[in-house]
A and B are shown apart, each in its own frame.
Chain A
């Protein structure tokens, strides 16, 4: 598919919009339908699109294997660390009301934003990992 001019041009044009839409979905998770999972899946799909149109080597050069492996566990770590931080701040595990913000309502709000970010990072990295492992010929 590397030789098809239409596919290459349209992909290069659409990729920033796809990724910004992923961030939009993540940021508006509390006002409209959306949230962490959907944003992570859309962001992972943008890298799968690069792999489909330009080839696996090109996509791997944009997201090297070591960076991908670290990103899988980063999101989960952010989530669990927020929960542990709530224990250090004096509440139960994952009780965001005890976080050191102005009120319990704001603590809840900020806590939700942080964990949605963690979930999005993990899901995006996992979608990329799964596709790159399964796809490809025998010697890749």
Chain B
């Protein structure tokens, strides 16, 4: 039983973090909180992915001695590559989301999404300038 939990512990914590981020995205009204929840969601996916790539007794995938490296056990390097790309994409998404928030604040004067919905309902902006 303890072995079963220890085998899957990383994946369960990744799912718990994913659900915390998901809750922040759908339940919070402040737009910056939503972006924070998106960040937590993305890092939990990275945690899941890299936990898959770990090998028992493996070391970091850098070759110290190229001659005798057939006996050394390395960790799986392929998910590291994919997650490197994903981290940079995540910061790009955060940057564009924050730019849109700045623009929304300039237009509507508020960054709570229910207030924006109310303002849009009362005086719809057909072409904003």
Contact = CB atoms under 8 A, between A and B. Distances in A.
Interface of A: 31-33, 37, 123, 130, 133-134
B102 interface: yes
B88 A134 contact: no
Nearest to B61: A33
Q: What's the dominant secondary structure at chain B's contact region?
A: helix
A134 B32 CA distance: 14
A52 to B, nearest CB: 17
Interface string B88-124: 1000000100110010000000000000000000000
A53 B95 CA distance: 22
Contact of B99 (A33, A37, A133): A133
A123 B87 CA distance: 13
Nearest to A37: B88
For the side of the interface on B, what is the size category? Answer: under 10
B102 A33 contact: no
A56 to B, nearest CB: 15
A84 B84 CA distance: 25
Contacts, number: 13
Interface of B: 60, 62, 84, 88, 95, 98-99, 102
Contacts of A133: 99
Contacts of B98: 134
B104 to A, nearest CB: 13
A72 B102 CA distance: 22
Contacts of B88: 37, 123
A139 to B, nearest CB: 12
B62 A33 contact: yes
B95 A130 contact: yes
B84 A134 contact: no
Given A130-B95, A134-B99, A134-B102, A37 B62 contact: no
A130 B102 CA distance: 13
Contacts of A134: 95, 98-99, 102
